[in-house]
């Protein structure tokens, strides 16, 4: 603005003719300017970078180091200077999932952002994953007893959410650009390339995965990532909900699992519908795992997120019988011989499986719990 004014000939002539003097430089203090729909949400007032540092309880230098807006994490050669631990996992399909676990200081700031900001922002009604008061069961309940169920899967859900979208979420809450940049930086990461060097995977697949993680993205392993992924997928949920209504269908999402169901109208349109739904997901920046797309009619088993929904949301009989047999064998001959899949904490694994069944089917869960309590650990 100053350069523009000083280059104006009319201003320069007036300045020389009237001997103008600079009396006071007027500046505007940064303020929070949330979108109208966000004005009622309880978020802290952090109009300046200093306010953010004080709120997180760190110095300005530490704040900029943790936010890493220059992507130095991907350039450090030594692990001690990095803010994340990295653990690559091979998936069944031959692809790679990278778990990026923040170190304690960064994780503390992320938890503060989660509890102080993100937990106060309501996700879309269709989102059921990582949402208080919702679960896999509530995700599946909408689709019980329907004539046809359509399941879509989003591939590499967290890495698909790039830093610009995360920054836009914080901007929509009213944070100035400088503060939103740092908040987004704390919650995102750019993965160092040397993480991939020791992995034994086909090079084309490895290059594609590496390219995704090179970009600033939501790290799977950070406490803020699930909530931010839901908020970044808000427009996706809006568009898919509207699309489902056009054919009288219901829509829910549990993280990267998308489910649609309906009656006769939806049954007739489902093959065209899944093409439109996939196009919307890709238009929103997500990748559809087409090999996992399933159209499930009432005459066959309709399965969502491990639950059968033909009559009511429940685990399959075969899965229940397998777990019951494992518990019986643990009671009879001890748990050491039953850990055939090599779980590091077999007791916690069994307890988690039983807790899941207790949520879905309390009667079956109670029977399994009684068996579990009899195991001689």
The full DSSP string for 288-310 is E-GGG-EEEETTS--EETTEE-S
pTM of the model: 0.85
Per-residue pLDDT reduced to its tens digit, 177-212? 999 999 999 999 999 888 877 666 666 666 767 778
> Dihedral, CA atoms, 88, 185, 110, 226, nearest 10 degrees?
-60
Q: Looking up tokens 């807790």, which residue turns up? A: 355
User: Between 373 and 13, whose confidence is greater?
Assistant: 373
Q: Which two tokens stand for residue 317?
A: 């009989």
Residue 53: CB atoms within 10 A of its CB come to 18
Which band of pLDDT confidence, cut at 50, 70 and 90, is reported for residue 25?
A: low
Does pLDDT of 254 surpass 80? yes
Rg, the chain, Cα only? 26
Predicted pLDDT of residue 24? 64
The CA distance from 229 to 152, in Å, is 17
| Secondary structure (3-state) at 307 | strand
DSSP state for residue 329 in the 8-state scheme: H
Q: Where are the alpha helices (DSSP H) in the chain?
A: 2-6, 9-18, 49-56, 60-67, 104-116, 136-141, 163-172, 177-187, 203-214, 225-232, 234-245, 264-283, 317-333, 346-360, 362-373
Predicted pLDDT of residue 79? 72
Average pLDDT over residues 254-262: 97
Q: Which two tokens stand for residue 295?
A: 């159209």
User: Between 76 and 31, whose confidence is greater?
Assistant: 31
The CA distance from 349 to 352, in Å, is 5
Q: pLDDT > 90: what percent of the chain?
A: 65
Which band of pLDDT confidence, cut at 50, 70 and 90, is reported for residue 95?
A: confident
If residue 331 lies in a helix (H) or strand (E), which one and from where to where? helix 317-333
- Max mean pLDDT range (2-6, 18-22, 35-39, 105-109): 105-109
Does pLDDT of 238 surpass 80? yes
CB of 238 closer than 8 Å to CB of 119: no
Task: Give counts: helices (H), strands (E), the chain.
Answer: 15, 9
Average pLDDT over residues 272-298: 96
Residue 268: CB atoms within 10 A of its CB come to 13
Does pLDDT of 31 surpass 70? yes
Does pLDDT of 328 surpass 70? yes
Which band of pLDDT confidence, cut at 50, 70 and 90, is reported for residue 145?
A: very high
Predicted pLDDT of residue 93? 66
Q: Choose among 79, 130, 165: nearest CA to 254.
A: 130
**Residues of 92-122 as b/e, b for ≥16 C-beta within 10 angstroms?**
eeebbebebebeeebbbbbebbbeebbeebe
Per-residue pLDDT reduced to its tens digit, 205-236? 667 677 788 899 999 999 999 999 999 999 99
CB of 261 closer than 8 Å to CB of 148: yes
Predicted pLDDT of residue 76? 72
Average pLDDT over residues 283-293: 94
| Secondary structure (3-state) at 297 | strand
């Amino acid at each position: 603005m100053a350069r523009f004014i000083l280059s104006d000939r009319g201003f320069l002539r007036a300045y020389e003719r009237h001997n103008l003097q600079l009396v006071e430089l007027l500046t505007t203090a940064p303020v929070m300017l949330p979108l109208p729909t966000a004005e009622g949400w309880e978020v802290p007032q952090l109009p300046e970078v200093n306010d953010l540092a004080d709120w997180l309880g760190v110095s300005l230098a530490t704040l900029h180091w943790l936010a890493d807006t220059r992507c130095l994490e991907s350039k450090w050669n030594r692990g001690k200077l990095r803010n994340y631990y990295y653990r690559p996992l091979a998936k069944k399909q031959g692809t790679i999932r990278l778990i990026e676990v923040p170190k304690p200081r960064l994780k503390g700031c992320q938890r503060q952002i989660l509890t102080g900001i993100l937990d106060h922002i309501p996700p879309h009604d269709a989102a059921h994953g990582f949402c208080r008061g919702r679960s896999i069961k509530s995700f599946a309940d909408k689709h019980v007893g329907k004539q046809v169920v359509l399941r879509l899967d989003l591939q590499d859900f967290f890495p698909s959410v790039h830093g610009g979208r995360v920054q836009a979420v914080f901007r929509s809450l009213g944070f100035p650009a400088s503060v939103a940049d740092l908040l987004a930086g704390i919650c995102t990461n750019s993965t160092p390339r040397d993480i991939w060097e020791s992995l034994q995977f086909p090079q084309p697949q490895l290059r594609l995965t590496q390219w995704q993680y090179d970009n600033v993205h939501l790290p799977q392993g950070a406490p803020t990532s699930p909530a931010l992924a839901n908020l970044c997928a808000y427009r996706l949920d809006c568009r898919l909900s509207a699309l489902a209504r056009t054919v009288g269908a219901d829509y829910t999402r549990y993280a990267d699992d998308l489910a649609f169901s309906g009656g006769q109208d939806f049954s007739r349109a489902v093959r065209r519908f899944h093409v439109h739904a996939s196009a919307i997901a890709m238009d929103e920046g997500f990748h559809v795992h087409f090999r996992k797309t399933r159209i499930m009619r009432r005459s066959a088993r309709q399965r969502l997120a491990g639950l059968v929904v033909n009559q009511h949301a429940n685990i399959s009989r075969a899965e229940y019988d397998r777990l019951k047999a494992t518990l019986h064998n643990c009671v009879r001959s001890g748990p050491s011989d039953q850990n055939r899949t090599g779980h590091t904490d077999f007791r916690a694994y069994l307890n988690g499986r039983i807790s899941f069944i207790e949520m879905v089917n309390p009667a079956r869960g109670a029977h399994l719990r009684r068996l579990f309590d009899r195991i001689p650990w």
